[in-house]
Amino acid sequence: MFYATIGRMVLIAAIMLAPAAVWAADGELRLQAIDSKTGQPIPVRVELPNSRGRPMRLKKVGTAELGDHFYLSGTATLGLRRGDYVFKMDAGPEYRTQNGSFTIDRYADDDKSVEMRRFADLAAEGWFAGDLDSQRSSRDLPIVAATEGISYAPSTAWTFDGKKWTKSHFLVLESVDDQVPLAAGRTLGPYTTRVELAGGTLLLVSDELLEEPPLELAAGVTSLEVIHQAREAGLHVVAATPTAWEYPLWVASGELDGVCLLTSQSEWKRIVDKDPQGRPRDKSFYPGKSGLVLWGEDIYFHTINCGVELSPLAGSGSGANESPLGINCTYAHLPNAFTPAAWWDAVDHGAVVVTNGPLLRPSVSGEPPGTKFRLDDGQTLDFQIALNMASRQRVEYLEILKNGQVDVEVRLSDWVSKGGKLPPVSFDSSGWFAVRAKTNTVDKREFALTAPYYVESTAGPRISRKSVEFFLSWLDELESRSDDSRSCTTDEVATARELFRGLSAKSKAE
């Protein structure tokens, strides 16, 4: 296991400032992060602004500097000018954030050790994190993934823009050697391609390193043709967002492995507000930055309400933006050790939770999300949800969603007093339920959502007429768009429309 590996590891990384800053250094500080229980050094993410409040710029290869943060693997020697400094240190979502300060005087030669306190160990419980949308160098990935607790980081190697393939500027195209201590037990490196067409972006994930583009694509290819070719090539196919104009076509194809419900805020802004790929939201119902995510959630709930079983997934965009790897991630529940094949098998079965904050581990009758429960005619079943949760941010309340609507809202104190059990959710007909946790964060929508649990009677899955009509209306809008603003044919739209009309004929729920 990763945590055992870190516990045995003592790595020293000497970090130097830019030459001009080093020459002007008045003193040195050796900064070390250790696990409070093991006493061993661990890798950490550090924010260390200078006296002007700007991020310190590091030059030594291997520190994975990005935006306002960099990474340390153990102990670092910092050459600094005189002054008072504050820092913020993180070791992923399972450790508490540590804030600290120090003073550098002339000729200072000091040591500072920071204890990182762990409050959760999801891998020990069988939950392994993946980030499906990043563009980080293979040289950086071992320390970055180890710090952030990410087991699976298939970074983007190639991008197809509708005309040609381009190698990622953010990625050194090389594998990550499993013998690197920080990479052991993880799958990291160039396994993903992005296909960015007028109708939306697809993430195609390979089981093999992508030294070359995995498909032969040419200008004029439709998004459905890409999906069909990707499936034939054995690639995993993920919709980069649920807002893509051609998302209903992809759902109708039945060939998606999942949809990224959580992306970086910048990705949502680009796709929904500025880029013609995304179907725009009604800002009176979905206002502000949180509205972007709420719009995507509702599209996903409409998908499930059409009787389609599809897993929610997540990606950070790290590298293409300045977000840390895994700031949005998918936890997949694996019965045994992590492997990419086991991780994707969990995705296929819906045994996942997506989060950009709270860490949820649900269980119903001992089973993870994605489990399907049978309901006999005339029978009513109550489902008791057991839930483990940990969060560095204050969670405001927990919600049980039933068929896409909030069925029960539980204050955190009530959940704690009942030993981690939520109120039962009752079904007398087909449907689905999930759990969502939200924090008090005001500057963004910070939450976690389990994939659905399904309840199915002898009449078959629940199909909502309202949700089917939602997608039929969407297809009408798609068909009316100009040829250069879509990557599909009229025949492909017609085929999808017939499928949704067929669902409408089967629908028994509003």
* 272 vs 157, more confident: 157
What CA–CA distance (Å, rounded) separates 241 from 132? 12
Cα–Cα distance for residue pair 370/365, rounded to 1 Å: 13
Q: What is the pLDDT of residue 442?
A: 65
Q: H or E segment at 493?
A: helix 490-506
The predicted-structure confidence for 264-290, as pLDDT tens digits, reads as follows 654 444 444 444 458 988 889 988 777
CATH number of 357-462: 2.60.40.10
CB atoms within 10 A of CB 212: 10
pLDDT at 214 over 60: yes
Distance CA 149, CA 22 (A): 32
pLDDT given at position 111: 81
Task: Check pLDDT > 50 for residue 24.
Answer: yes
User: In Å, what is the CA distance from 314 to each residue of 121, 124, 130, 268, 448?
Assistant: 20, 21, 8, 12, 11
Strands 83-90 and 98-104, sheet pairing:
antiparallel
If you average pLDDT over residues 206-225, what whole number do you get? 95
Q: What pLDDT does residue 116 have?
A: 95
Domains 2-116 and 357-462 share a fold: yes
At 478, which helix (H) or strand (E)?
A: helix 465-480
Q: Which CATH superfamily is domain 2-116 in?
A: Immunoglobulins (2.60.40.10)
Determine the Cα–Cα distance for residues 169 and 161; give it in Å rounded to an integer: 14
| pLDDT confidence of residue 267 | 47
In angstroms, rounded to a whole number, what is the distance separating the alpha carbons of residues 389 and 358? 7
131 pLDDT tier (thresholds 50, 70, 90):
very high
Report pLDDT digits (tens) over 419-452. Answer: 888 999 999 999 999 999 988 776 677 899 999 9
Residue 295 to residues 253, 261, 278, 329, 420, Cα–Cα distance (Å): 22, 10, 11, 19, 30
Would you say residue 1 has pLDDT above 50?
Answer: no
In the chain, pLDDT over 70 holds for what percent of residues? 89
Instruction: List, for residues 493-503, the tens digit of each pLDDT value.
Output: 999 999 999 99
pLDDT digits (tens, 9 = 90+) for 56-108: 765 553 478 888 888 988 777 777 777 888 889 999 999 999 998 888 788 77
**Tens-digit pLDDT profile for residues 406-422:** 999 999 988 988 888 89
Average pLDDT, the chain: 87
**Could you tell me the fold of the domain covering 121-350?**
TIM Barrel (3.20.20)
User: Quick one: average pLDDT of 207-230?
Assistant: 96
Q: Which of 38-47, 66-75, 382-391, 455-464 has the lowest mean pLDDT?
A: 66-75
Region 392-402: mean pLDDT is 92
Instruction: Provide the residue ranges of all domains of the chain, joining segments of one domain with +.
Output: 2-116, 121-350, 357-462, 465-506
pTM: 0.90
Q: How confident is the model at residue 179 (pLDDT cuts 50, 70, 90)?
A: low
* Predicted local distance difference test score (pLDDT) of residue 381: 96
E strand or H helix at 229: helix 223-232
452-477 mean pLDDT: 96
In this prediction, residue 291 carries a pLDDT of 83
Position 21 scores a pLDDT of 35
Q: Which of 3-12, 104-113, 159-168, 191-200 has the lowest mean pLDDT?
A: 3-12
Give whole-number Cα distances, 160 to 203, 236, 245, 249, 297, in Å: 11, 16, 18, 20, 27
Q: How many residues are present in the chain?
A: 510
